[in-house]
Every structure is written in structure tokens, then in C-alpha cells.
Amino acid sequence: MTEQLSDLITTNNKLLEEFMVYLEVERNLSKHTLRAYTGDIEHFLYWLRDLSFADVNTNTIRLYFSQIQVFEYSKTTLARKIAALRTFFRFLYREKIVEYNPADVLRSPKKPKKLPSFLNEDEIEQIFELITPDNPSDARNRAILEVLYACGMRVSELCGLNFGNLNLEENEITVFGKGAKERIVLISERAKKYLNLYLKDFRKVYAVENEYINEKTPVFINSVGYRLNQRSVNKCLEKISEKVEIHKKISPHVFRHSFATKLLEKGADLRVVQELLGHASISNTQIYTHVSTERLKQAYTKAHPRAK
């Protein structure tokens, strides 16, 4: 390796490290997005080889995307890679490394609209009936599912709950969503009943000896007293899905979809649902209106004598 190439690689890697700090500190992006964007730029870096970022133009980037077509990436992945490059070169422009953003003119592929899977109220109740909260594990799992369905929170938000986030007297829970954005979600009386049952009667069985509960103490813990992780919640639902006779995917996110669909079907305002879900854009929430419309169409087709 020549000294010039070695210096270029060192410079490029340093810029990538600075970009990662920028994403984490200034943009406050989630860890998932941070990992994805970093991987996308590292892949682009490897493809560039001995070319400096300052020498990259729009044709270079177009050539890159034409060559990676052999990997048959989905439209969603390609859209993310384009977004990553746009963000990266915007950062380089701000740092005066490049004279313009060569990725700005790229158009993201249109993502196919996929209606989210959801469970109706009868299916939700079938799942709940399988979990009798008479032991620490089932009491915790029942509380988790009740909270997911009642609050519509993400599984990451649920696992991140601390005692300081709970204001059960006012039926409120503070959660931190994507980008550490804070919002308040509401909890139903029924979900609160099961959460209190777990907290008061069963959580102590798993807690570490002489645990001192403060505002940063995790609400949901595993069998050895540590914070419950997303993987454990997913496994819990996988086991339940094996027992229940519902031929649909059952996951924490499906509970979130079910929460939003139910609210809209009961007449909730779209903006209210957006706020409760923590969506940055209302366009993300609007997909649930399509779900509701689809159910209306199915009911109409099934019941109306002249529908067919």
C-alpha cells in the first residue's frame, strides 16, 4: 500500500468516525439507524477504494448504485442507503470537505405500501386468556401485553421504562421514543390493574436482594433481576403464538398496530393517534386509516346484497 493511499484511508476513516458522532450527538438518531447508516457508508467507502470523498460526484454515486444492484436489495434498503449518503455528504458539505452534496439529486425508490398486520379485539382476548397471572413470569408477561395494547408503545420503549416514568395515579406513562423524543402515553384502568399486580406482588421475586427502587430502576426485569430486553419480550410472544389458534403474526409491533387500528375504528382523531404513537410525521399514521377502510370494504362486500 502506498503512503498516499494509506493517508487517504486514514482521512476517510476519521471523517466516518466524526460522522458517527454527529449522528449520535447532534442528530440524536436511534442506535438502529446509527448502525445502519454507518454500515452503509462503510460499504460505500470500501467501494470507493482509492478515491477521496472530495472527488465524488453525482455520476460516481449513480455508478455505485448501478453496481450494487447485483445484491438485489429491497426498495426499503436502497432508500435507506440513499438517505445515508445524502446525510453523510450534507455533513461533509457543512465541514467544507466537499463543494456540494452529490447525493441530493438522487430519487429514492417508492416503497410498496404494505398494510400493517393487526389483531382484532377477540384475538387479543384469546391471547390474554392464555396468561393467568398467578406466578412471577406470567404476571409480568400479562402486564407487558396489557401495557403494549393499552398504550401502543414500541417494545424498546416498554423495556426502557423506569419507575420514574410511571404516573399511574393520573393513568400516564412517560416514554422516550426514536431520537430520545419524550411523550406521554395513557394507560387504561385494566392495564394498570395488571401492572400494579406485577409491581406489588410479583416483581420482588425476581428483584436483586435489598434492591433500592428509585426513578431509574427498571420496571420490567428478568428472572435474575436485570432489565428485560426486547429479545425476551419477543420470545414470550413466540411461545404464546404456538398455543393460540390465531393464524396471524403475533409480535410487540402487531400489538402496537392493533392499538392504533382500534382507536381509529372507534373514531379517534388521526392527530391524537399520531401523538400517542410518537410518529414524527402524520403520513406514518395514515397507513392505519387504510387498514380501517379495508375492514369496512370487507364488511360491505360480505353483507351487502349488491356488493358483488
Q: Does residue 304 have an active-site annotation?
A: no
Strand pairing report for 172-176 and 182-186: antiparallel
pTM for the predicted model, two decimal places:
0.63
How many residues can be counted in the chain? 308
Is 253 among the residues known to form the active site? yes
Beta bridge partners of 174: 184
Dihedral sign computed on CA atoms, order 59, 63, 64, 69: positive
- Full 3-state SS string of 180-217: HCEEEEECCHHHHHHHHHHHHHHHHHHCCCCCCCCCCC
Rounded to 5°, angle at Cα 180 from 96 and 141: 145
Q: Which residues of 247-272 are buried (b: 16+ CB within 10 A; e: fewer)?
A: eeebbbbbbbbbbbbbbbeeeeeeee
Mean of per-residue pLDDT scores for the chain: 86
pLDDT in tens, 6-59: 666 777 778 888 888 888 888 888 788 888 999 999 899 888 877 777 788 899
Task: Name the residue among 183, 203, 184 with its Cα closest to residue 143.
Answer: 203
Catalytic hit among 27, 43, 62, 279: 279
- Helices 31-48 and 75-94, packing angle to 10 deg: 80
Q: What's residue 23's pLDDT?
A: 87
Choose the catalytic residue: 90, 178, 183, 295. 178
Q: Cα separation of 80 and 126, whole Å?
A: 38
The pLDDT value given to residue 115: 65
- Is 107 part of the annotated catalytic residue set? no
Give residue 46's pLDDT. 85
Cell numbers at residue 214, please? 428509585
Known catalytic membership, residue 256:
yes
Does the pLDDT value for residue 307 go beyond 60? no
When mean pLDDT is compared across 141-150, 172-181, 286-295, 297-306, the lowest value belongs to 297-306
Which one of 80, 140, 154, 257 is the catalytic residue?
154
Return the pLDDT at 239. 86
The residues that bridge with 185 in the sheet, in sequence order, are 173
What number of H helices and E strands is found in the chain? 14, 3
Is 257 an annotated catalytic residue?
no
Q: How many CB atoms lie within 10 A of CB 216?
A: 9
pLDDT digits over 176-233, tens only?
887 778 899 999 999 999 999 999 999 999 998 888 999 999 999 999 999 999 999 9
pLDDT (tens digit, 9 = 90+) per residue, 87-138?
999 998 888 888 889 888 888 777 666 667 888 899 999 999 989 999 999 9
